[in-house]
Amino acid sequence: MSRTGEIVLTVIGGFIYGFFAVVGALMVWFFHNEAIWDQATEELRQQQPDIAPGEMEAALQMFQGSGWLMIVISAIGLILGIVSIVFMVGDKKPKAAGIMLIVMSVLGALVTFGALIFSGVFYLIAGIMCLARKASPEATTPTE
């Protein structure tokens, strides 16, 4: 059975996970750059003069931490997407691929508070398709 639809959806979801990994890496790089850090701190002081410096520092560090979270979750999503494509090619283990895709889409969206829901939608649809489509009877019987 051809699993072209599932593979295409998984590849699209993988590209979106890759994009968010790059966005997370840029967030980490921006907040490790001293000049950008000082500029962001100064802009926050001008916009919100009543915020304490400690609160401002904590908010900026939260953005840096969320960048690392995006990188890690996106990398895991990409790896699981590649593994599930390997399982789908040749109709080897489509059920396992479907379960991996569904679990990754749900956990990725929950852990990042919905930030990775766009890529998760593609993985979710591909995972449901993997679980719902049955192999044709002649494909399951061995030939002699």
Q: Look up residue 77 and give its amino acid.
A: G
> Can you say how many angstroms the Cα of residue 84 is from the centroid of all Cα atoms in its chain?
14
Confidence (pLDDT) at 123 = 93
Let me know if 58 is exposed, middle or buried by CB neighbors in 10 A (0-12, 13-18, 19+).
exposed
**What's the pTM?**
0.78
Confidence (pLDDT) at 82 = 94
Confidence (pLDDT) at 76 = 94
Confidence (pLDDT) at 32 = 80
Separation between Cα atoms, residue 71 and residue 131, nearest integer Å: 28
Confidence (pLDDT) at 37 = 75
Instruction: Pick the closest to residue 77 from 121, 27, 45, 113 (CA basis).
Output: 121
Confidence (pLDDT) at 98 = 93
Q: At what angle do helices 53-88 and 117-132 cross, to 10 degrees?
A: 20
List the pLDDT tens digit at each of the 144 positions of the chain: 688 889 999 999 999 999 999 999 998 888 788 787 778 778 877 887 787 777 777 877 787 788 889 999 999 999 999 999 999 988 888 899 999 999 999 998 898 888 888 889 999 999 999 999 876 655 555 555
Domain ranges of the chain: 4-133
Dmax (CA) for the chain in angstroms is 80
